Amino acid sequence: MRCSGLPGEGRPSRNTRPRVPVRRDRYRSPALNAPDLAAVVDDLRGRSVNYDEALAPPHVTDGWHQDRWAVELGHEAPGEPEPGGLVAAADALVNGYEFTDPSLLRAAYRYPADVVGRDMLLQGRFAMFRFHMGVRITAELDELREGPDGPERVVGWAYQTLDGHLEQGKLTYEIVKNLTTGRVEFRIDAYSRQSEIRNPLFRVGFGLFGRHTQLRFYRAALERLKARLPHPPGEPGPDPDGLVRVPTGAPPDHATWAEIHVVHPGR
């Protein structure tokens, strides 16, 4: 005989509702120890672009920053880019992501890797914080355009932000040669906006300093690529864990014990 006075007898259990699995990022919480970068880079394959392109420029412009920056790199003889010339050297630096200021941004990606489809883990650096965020190269450029001063040969690539990034948007890096004058430029064409950020401290901090830091990055990238052209580093190679870390020759941190690492700080 069953005893009807037992707790829970005669009423449904609170635990009968099926559980819905929820993805939990292993490294979501801030940590003093650096994460396993190889594991985080490999995880990027399962992440998607974190915005709807139909709701971004050029279709929708409200709420988006749109930036276009350029610096003259020098000249070649008129006509298509010269083999081993200025355009080729600048394109190699862009392809290797060697133009970033390591005090602001560093990157890691799997070797070898095609350009299109390459997942890169960016490490944004602000004070003691190290924000690890994913992007994916989604387009490679090698095309002839009609520019304001005549035809232009454009080479480069574009990446888009992935789930967990502090921003949403697309950055295009171009080496552009005017075929009439021989003028060569490095251009950055971008649109972006703040992503949804879970942590209120990071959300407020990004609102206060994010745009300023972004503009610093653009200016520094133009200056650094031009400065590295006379003595470019060799093609970046992988470390023992199979990752390429760029920019090449970035100085090590002097106080790693004080770094706070945050992986995928956005939604």
Q: Collapse the DSSP code of 226 into the 3-class scheme (helix H, G, I; strand E, B; otherwise coil) and give the result.
A: helix
Q: Say how far apart CA 267 and CA 225 lie, in whole Å.
A: 32
Confidence of residue 254 (pLDDT cuts 50, 70, 90): low
Mean pLDDT of 76-80: 97
Q: Say how far apart CA 32 and CA 128 lie, in whole Å.
A: 10
CA distances from 94 to 30, 39, 91 (A): 31, 25, 5
The two tokens of residue 45 are 């394959």
Nearest to 193 by CA among 121, 124, 266: 266
State the distance between the two ends of the chain, measured CA to CA, in whole angstroms.
54
Confidence of residue 32 (pLDDT cuts 50, 70, 90): low
The 10s digit of each residue's pLDDT in 85-95 is 999 999 999 99
The 10s digit of each residue's pLDDT in 224-237 is 999 999 999 988 88
Nearest to 124 by CA among 191, 205, 200, 45: 205
Q: Say how far apart CA 125 and CA 217 lie, in whole Å.
A: 11
- Would you state the CATH architecture of domain 44-249+257-263? 2-Layer Sandwich (3.30)
Nearest to 241 by CA among 121, 131, 111: 111
pLDDT at position 216? 96
ω into 112 cis (within 30 of 0): yes
Count other Cβ atoms within 10 Å, centred on residue 16. 6
Q: Say how far apart CA 177 and CA 208 lie, in whole Å.
A: 37
Q: Say how far apart CA 72 and CA 183 lie, in whole Å.
A: 7
